[in-house]
Structure formats: C-alpha cells, structure tokens
Structure 1
Amino acid sequence: MCEFNLNLFNLIIIASVFIGTTFGLLLILTRRINKKANVLLGILTFIIVLWNIWILSLDFQITNYIPYFYLIPLNYSLALGPLLYLYVKKTTNFSYHISKKDILHFLPLVIELAVHLMISRDALANNIIGVETNTYLQLMPVIQFFAIVSIITYSIYALKKIKRYHTWLNKNYSNNDAYSLRWLYRLIIIFAILWFLWTPYTIIDYVLFNFQLGLADYYPIYVLLSIVTIWISAEAFLRPEVILLETNRNNNNEKEKPSEEILKKASWLKEQMITNRFYLNSELTLKSLAENLDMHPNILSKVINDGLDKNFSDFINEYRVNAIIKKMNSDDYDHITLLGLSFECGFNSKTTFNRVFKNIKGVTPLQYKKSIKNNAGHS
C-alpha cells in the first residue's frame, strides 16, 4: 500500500474539486433567466473538475486501490473551447438558441475519446496504466497541442462576441455598467494566456524529456487553470442577472451619408432632449426614449448614429455631464456632493459617472470642480 503524499499544490487541487463541483451544480440546477448559458458553463466547470480528479488519481496512485480506474475517461479538453464560446454567445444574445449545428463544434471531442480507448486497449494488453503506454506517449502531445489551439481560437471568437455586445449596449443603454461583461472579458484573456503557456510545457516535455516530466512540474499551471475556471463560474453565478429589454441586433456596420430627413430629425431630437430632459431618467434606453418620442427604435437609432455620429450611450451621457457641469457652476448646488449631482442628472452608479465624465471631459469630476473653483478664485 502507498501513502498519500500531500503538498500545497494537491491540497489546492482537492479544494478546487469540491468548490468546482459546488458551482458546477449550482450553475446547472439553479433556475435562472439565462439557465441555458449557465448549464454550458457548469459543464465546462465539471470538465475541469474531472481533469483535476485525473491529476489526483495519478499523484495518489489510485490504481493501487482501484486497478482499472484509468479506464474511466476523465479528459475532455477539446470540449472546453466550444463550451466557453457557446456560453458567451448565449450570454451576449439572449434570443440565441443552441441548434444541432452547434454539435459540430464538439466533433474533435470524439477523436479525443477515441484516443482514450486506444490508450486503454494498449494498457490492458500490456498490464500497465494508461500514462505508461506508447500510445499515450505518442498521441497525447498531439491532443494537448490541438486542445491549446482550440481553446485559444475559441477564446478569441468569444472575446469578439463580447466586444460586439458592448458596442450594441452603447447603442441601446445609457447606463450600461450593470449589463457589462468586462469581468468575463478579462477572465477569458487570462484563461487563454494560461493555456498558451501550456505550449512551452508541452514542447519542452516532448522534445527534451520524451514526455516524462512529472506531475510536480505541471502543478503550477494546473492550479492556475483551476482557479481561473472556478473564478469564472463563481462570477457568473453570484452576479445578479439582468434582462436586456431589446433583443433585435442590427449588425450592419456600413456607413452611409445621412439624408436631409435624418439631419432634420437629429436637430429636432436635440431640441426634444433639452425641452423634455429625458436624460434625467437613469433607466432610459433606446426603446423607452423611442416610445416617448413616438418613433420606431430603429429610426431613432439611425438618427443618433447617422445624424449625430454618436452611439446612444454617448448621446445621452453628454447631456447628463453638461447638466452636472451647469450645476457645478451654480452656488445653489454647493451643498450637494458630486455623487448626489450625478444621481440627480441621470447616472445610477459612481463608477459609471466617473468613467463617463472623464471620457467626455478628459479629467475626473473632482478635478473639474477644483478647476472651476480655481478659476473663480483668480477672477
């Protein structure tokens, strides 16, 4: 009988198995608005959990207790990329439905499972565990390489989806931080970089060590990948869900010269904004503004995009910032904090207010207010 040699790395991986299983189950079983997307992420989390179980089975020599444990397929690395991409696709477009065509993304997984069967057959024939077979040594580096390429490629496509989604948000929502997926964008970049770092590991292991590096050499990257995967799952589950009111996406990026009618409507729109101060509504969206103006949302979008050469978010927030600046210059509002002014003028979060104000004016609200006082002191 062998003893379990516990160290910091495998203790972290053991913890990640339990935490990953918990969040995987929560994502799959909890009834939520975007449950179908969460199920995809939950499956991705379970794949990492199974992978960690495989690592621990080798480290703790589980085959000494369960001789044929290695026959259980625990590696599904070629499914990670498609699952991540489809999760992002479903999250960024609530009306998107997973179709039979999406199954094609998982065809490479069939090859990975076929390789597992070949390794298992070789192991049974020679009475050894799978990782010691010639089939494993010859084919697993190839599978690892394709898994790295697959995950990085799908990550790039997922990032493009999130970028397009953020562009759409800016065209339809004035306060859009609650709908933003910047957290997911950052984590996918980290996830892809970690898989990219696997490349030198695989090359060095295969070329210099004949694929004989031990688990200890791979532990740091195993741990980091587990942490990032669980991080994505935890963020996805713990963040409050939001419902996007508009589902029709116009992805036509062709730019045309605005017609006279569009320019006239753009001028009329600016007058309506000043007269009715729609921007004071923190929940203002393209759809709600269109209803107030008795216009079709598509026409309003065209007026803003073509007639004013702006997106909806910038158009509305410029009015809000100008309203705040007007109040900054008035002694009547000196008793109100900058955050209070921002809420009065249509912003609904400090983060959005500071970011938008700096984007428009080039300085923070506090710096701008100080400059007003300094100019008043010199005059």
Structure 2
Amino acid sequence: MQDLNFQNNILNILIVFGGLQGLILSTVVFFYPDRDKASNNLLAIFIFTAVILLLAPILQIQLGWKHVWIFHCTKFITISALYLYIKSLSEKVSLKRTLKHFSFAAAYIPIALHYVSYIQNKYQVTYEYAGGQDIYDQILSITNLLYIGFYIFLYIKAYKLHQERVLQNFSSEQKLGLNWIKQLIFGFVGIIIVSYTLYAFVLANPEFSTKGCLINVAAITVFLYFVTIKGKISPEIYKLRKIVGETAEADGNSGKERIPSRSKKGLKTNNPQLLTIAEKITEALRDEEFFRNENVSIRELAEQIGEQPYLVSQAINAVVGKTFFELINEERINLAKRLLVSDKYNHLSLVGIGFEAGFNSKTTFNTTFKKITGMTPSEFRRTESVMEV
C-alpha cells in the first residue's frame, strides 16, 4: 500500500512539474520575437495541447473520468499543430489552412460527448473507467491510429519538401532545421508508440496501471524538456522561408512555388535571360573563395552576380540541370581533388582538405566525395599517387 501511495505521489509530482514546465515554455515561445511569430505560435500550440494531455491523468483523479475524457480531443490539435509547424519553417501557413487542420478536433467533440454518455449509461460508470471494455473503445482507438498514421505520412512528406527546398537554395544541410524536424518527428512518434504500448499492457495487466501511467507521463515530460531545450531555434532556419517566400511572390504562386525536379538532369532551355545568368554563375564560381564558404546560399550568389535569387535558381535548374546544393558541392569536390594531389597541401589531413574545400564536417566531405567520384578521399589520393609513380 505504501509503495502504491509513493508511486502515486511521484506520478502527481511529475505531472504537475512537467505541466508547469510546459506551460511556461509555451508562453515563452508564444511571446518570442515577432520575426518568427507564425512558427512560434504553432509550436506554442503544440506544446500547450501536449501539456493538457500530460495533465489528463491527474485531472481524472481529481474530477473523474467523464469530466476529463473530453480533453482527449486536444490530441488532434497536438498532432496537426506539429505538421503545421514543420510546414511553417519554409512557407507561410495561412489561418484558413490552420483552421482546416484543427477542424477534426472540433468535429470530434460531439463524438466524445456521445461516447461518455454511452459508456456511463451502459456500464453505470460514475467516477472511473479503465477503457477497453466496449467495441466503442476499439473503434475510437482504430480511428485515432488512422489519424496518427495519416499525419505521420504528412510529417515525412513535409520533411522531404523542406529538404528539397534546402538543396535548391543552400550549399549545406546544416543549421536549417532538418535535424530539428527529424528529432521532433521521431520524438513525437516515439511518445505515441510508448503510450499505445503501455495502454495495451495495462489493459491486459490492470494491476500495473499506476506504473504504466507513471512511465507514460515520464516519457511525455522528457519530450517536453527536450522541446524546452531545443525549441529556441537559430534564426538561420528562417533563411529558407524568406527565400522561398520571395520566389513564390515573384512567381505569383501565393506561397506555392514550383520546385524543379532533381531527376531531370541536363534539362536545357532557350531562354536568353536564363542562359546569360548561367554564364554569370559559371564566372562567379571561378572564385574559389565563394564556394569555400560553408554556409553560402543562393541569395549570396544572386547578390554577387546582381540577379534575383529565384532567377538564379531557375537558371541553375534549367540550364545546368542541377540543384544549387549539387552545383556548389561539385565545385568543392573538384577543388578538393586538386588539393589532394597538390604538394603544397600534402601536409594536411583528409579532414583538413575537406575544410579547405568548404565542407563543415568530415562525414559530409567523405559522403559527398564518394557520391561524386565513386571513391573515398583516401582512395583518390592513393590512386593518384600510384599513377604519378
């Protein structure tokens, strides 16, 4: 009995402490600088609704099952808010679009009310209901899983689109939100898996309900702490959204800019303006110092040749048949190959060569080098040495 009371006390402390932490975080994020207001608002909504789910167990203890179950409708806002937040990192998310994704939560309220009334009358529930006793429970669980599965698909799709936009506009995938997005997706999906696994286990073993709830709350709390630490994203992530927004505005597509297919290599155009810009790009890239800057973007290239970023992007794709990312990294690899066989740089390690060529990590250098040349930097240096002998 003492052990059970101790577990309940720890559970209550964890829930309250985690809830307060989440509420403070959501407030801080909501009032963060206006520069990233749209994204911050969506992240604040995600955190706040996650906190409501975190507080649900202790509210159920205090208020009873029938008064708290309705709060579970907020999980649909939590799930869709994460998707909208990911989208907002590279494009404008309109109020209409936001309400469209949140509408399922509103539509679910009458279903939740009917469910509570149905269970209360059928099983004479007055205060506590464990769940899983009725076919209604299974139907709602399956519906929830389908909804979650659909949004996981949207998460992955949004991530790939964000990555595509990064490759179109930047020479590096670092500091542009890609890792942050992956961490959010994997973290949130992990929480969902833990919750449903524990729910199934507790249904089969009711005596472990308190421990199961404790583990679930601890997992959600840790995730909220993770968001607390990582939530203040570097302003560099919003460089992409600004460039995409300018491109969309220039194309008149209201935020839905066309992203050229990366599979159409060698695509040619007779557009004289794009051909002229392509020549300027080729001339600019003769300056090694330009692409040796590890964080160079298409905006900087556009400024150097005196053209609009969206026109530079079109020229690279239509005339050169590559993305900006591919173009810059091929130039870096060509430079690295020259450095690897140069006596002037034979004192440098392979990592040093990579940094000299403009790469910001050993892994990125090795991966890109092998992708373009078919061999690692060390294999290339060894092969060239043998050929010279």
Same fold (TM over 0.5): yes
TM-score category, normalised to shorter length: 0.7 to 0.9
- The alpha-carbon deviation at position 360 of structure 1 amounts to 2.7
Structure 1 residue 33 corresponds to structure 2 residue 35: yes
Structure 1 residue 108 corresponds to structure 2 residue 104: yes
Deviations 1:229-274 (A, max 9, x none): 543453232x422231512253254659513567965983575145
Structure 1 residue 240 corresponds to structure 2 residue 251: no
- The alpha-carbon deviation at position 32 of structure 1 amounts to 5.7
Q: Give the TM-score taking structure 2 as reference length.
A: 0.74
Distance 1:275 1:148 in 2: 54
Distance 2:36 2:362 in 1: 27
Q: Which runs of 5+ in 1 are unaligned?
A: none
Distance 1:196 1:306 in 2: 44
Q: Structure 1 stretch 139-148 or stretch 83-92: which is displaced more?
A: 139-148
Amino acid at match of 1:259: T
Residue in 2 that maps onto 1:62? 62
Distance 2:200 2:8 in 1: 26
Residue in 2 that maps onto 1:326? 338
- The alpha-carbon deviation at position 173 of structure 1 amounts to 1.0
1:44-55 maps to which residues of 2 (within 5 A)? 44-55=46-57
Residue in 2 that maps onto 1:181? 178
Match of 1:164 among 155, 161, 173: 161
Distance 2:30 2:14 in 1: 24
Distance 2:89 2:214 in 1: 32
Distance 1:227 1:369 in 2: 46
Residue in 2 that maps onto 1:292? 304
Residue in 1 that maps onto 2:6? 5
Distance 2:286 2:351 in 1: 24
Q: Structure 1 stretch 272-281 or stretch 75-84: which is displaced more?
A: 272-281
Match of 2:88 among 87, 90, 96: 90
- The alpha-carbon deviation at position 77 of structure 1 amounts to 1.6
Residue in 2 that maps onto 1:275? 286
- The alpha-carbon deviation at position 31 of structure 1 amounts to 2.5
Distance 1:30 1:313 in 2: 31
Q: Do 2:313 and 2:324's aligned partners in 1 also have CA atoms closer than 8 Å? A: yes
CA 270–100 in structure 1, closer or farther in 2 if over 3 Å, else same: closer
Structure 1 residue 195 corresponds to structure 2 residue 180: no
Distance 2:189 2:17 in 1: 23
Q: Do 1:41 and 1:83's aligned partners in 2 also have CA atoms closer than 8 Å? A: yes
Distance 1:342 1:274 in 2: 18
Q: Give the TM-score taking structure 1 as reference length.
A: 0.76
Residue in 1 that maps onto 2:252? none
Amino acid at match of 2:32: T
CA 138–49 in structure 1, closer or farther in 2 if over 3 Å, else same: farther
SS at match of 2:71: coil
1:205-244 maps to which residues of 2 (within 5 A)? 214-217=209-212, 220-237=215-232, 239-242=233-236, 243-244=238-239
Q: Which runs of 5+ in 2 are unaligned?
A: 249-256
Distance 1:114 1:128 in 2: 20
- The alpha-carbon deviation at position 15 of structure 1 amounts to 5.0
SS at match of 1:5: helix
Residue in 2 that maps onto 1:302? 314
Residue in 1 that maps onto 2:258? 251
Distance 1:166 1:110 in 2: 32
- The alpha-carbon deviation at position 171 of structure 1 amounts to 1.2
In the alignment of these two chains, the number of paired residues is 366
Q: Structure 1 stretch 150-159 or stretch 298-307: which is displaced more?
A: 298-307
Percent pairwise identity = 19
Distance 1:36 1:266 in 2: 34
- The alpha-carbon deviation at position 87 of structure 1 amounts to 0.9
Q: Structure 1 stretch 108-117 or stretch 33-42: which is displaced more?
A: 108-117
Q: Structure 1 stretch 261-270 or stretch 41-50: which is displaced more?
A: 261-270
Amino acid at match of 2:86: V
